[in-house]
Amino acid sequence: MAQLNDAEVSKLLSEPNYAVVSTLNQDGSVLSTIVWISEDDGTVAVNSAKGRRWPTNLERDPRITALVYEAGNPYNYVEIRGRATGTTEGADEHINALAKKYINQDEYPFRQPGEQRIKFVIEPENIRHQKQG
């Protein structure tokens, strides 16, 4: 099993590579969504607005899979399966840090009026890295 601090895995997570997160809908079907992701001190986190479908799924069932793939080579990826814990504490700062990483803006420019951000920290249970090409 790979680790978050493995050089190739750390590189995938530190660069602005997109993640596909998969959560479980209430009927048991899978919902997959493309998101921004961060890695910091051995944890992985994603961010969204409260009330959206995939955060609502995680609040009900914390199981999550995040697949992070290299922008120029999708066959270089890391799959992180685990459980996510959500918090609004620090969520605004987190989305701003993600905006800086992904679009080089100091503040997240797509916030909607009245929107409350939620940050989910993923506790990995299984990490798998694959690289081809």
Domain ranges of the chain: 7-131
The pLDDT value recorded for residue 84 is 97
d(CA 54, CA 35): 11
The pLDDT value recorded for residue 44 is 97
User: Could you read off the pLDDT of 6-48 as tens digits, one per residue?
Assistant: 999 999 999 999 999 999 999 999 999 999 999 987 889 999 9
CATH topology of domain 7-131: Pnp Oxidase; Chain A (2.30.110)
